[in-house]
Amino acid sequence: MSIRPTLLPLIQKLRVLLADPEGPDQQWSNAELAVFLDDGSRRANVNFFPLTPIGNYTATATVQTLVYQAPCGDWESGATLYDSENVILSPSEADYAQGRWVFVSDTPAPVSIVGRCFNLYGAAADALRAAAASVAGEFDYKDNNQAFSRSQKYRNFMAQAENYEARALRWPGKSMDSRPNEIGFGKLTATDVNPNSNPRRFIRSTRLTTYNVE
């Protein structure tokens, strides 16, 4: 299975949560961790979601909008920002880990984003439950007065999975999610659909069909 290069930084963060550093003794391959990240409940496909503008006061006490913030971090690199006319914007800085984009000059709202963000704690919880399932058949035993408590591995995996799942429930990414075949938040005029149509028959805020980023 080929891995999207843009997903590798998130895979490395997931390895930290799983205490599974990349190397000869790693438990999970990158491809396996990518499956947990790309699970439908752990990945938000974001289509034209409006970012929050953060104003900055200049020396003349005027306000410029240079920074835009998403509700959550852990974005796959390559997310695209758009202005109110759906023109692609080029921020000077993109902090995908924090969900924060910076411009060098005043960039008025609205600014929207198309991309993917991930619930890393949820993906880690799924991986730990899978690890627990792999040792569920192991049992405790004694040999020459020595006790071997293999079932403790299962309990530890499940306990950590529950801890991560509790943190995953606070993930705001689902509120931004546009599921496959659904509509996003972009604007569309009648002439975008049919140049011979009557614009009065359409509302200018008609939503665009999903803007897939597969």
Cis (ω within 30 of 0) for the bond into 53?
no
Cα Dmax for the chain:
87
**Whole-structure pTM over 0.85, yes or no?**
no
pLDDT at 117: 97
Residue 22 structure tokens: 């990349």
Compute the 3-state secondary structure of the chain and give helix, strand, coil in percent, each to the nearest 5: 30, 25, 40
Determine the Cα–Cα distance for residues 58 and 19; give it in Å rounded to an integer.
45
pLDDT 10s digit of each residue in the chain, 214 long?
Answer: 689 999 999 999 999 999 999 999 999 999 999 999 999 999 999 999 999 999 776 666 567 899 999 999 999 999 999 999 999 999 999 999 999 999 999 999 999 999 999 999 999 999 999 999 887 655 555 556 655 556 678 889 999 999 999 999 999 998 888 765 444 444 433 333 344 444 333 333 333 323 333 3
**Contact residues for 111 (Cβ-Cβ < 8 A; gap 6+):** 50, 51, 53, 68, 81, 82, 83, 89, 101
Name the phi and psi angles at 123, rounded to 5. Answer: -65, -40
pLDDT value of residue 180? 53
DSSP string, 9-52: HHHHHHHHHHT--SSTT-SS-HHHHHHHHTSTTTEEEEEEEEPE
Strand ranges inside the chain, DSSP E: 43-50, 52-57, 63-69, 80-82, 88-89, 93-95, 100-102, 112-118, 141-143, 146-148, 183-188, 206-209
The ranges assigned to domains in the chain are 5-42+119-173, 43-118+178-209
Predicted confidence at residue 135, as pLDDT, reads 78
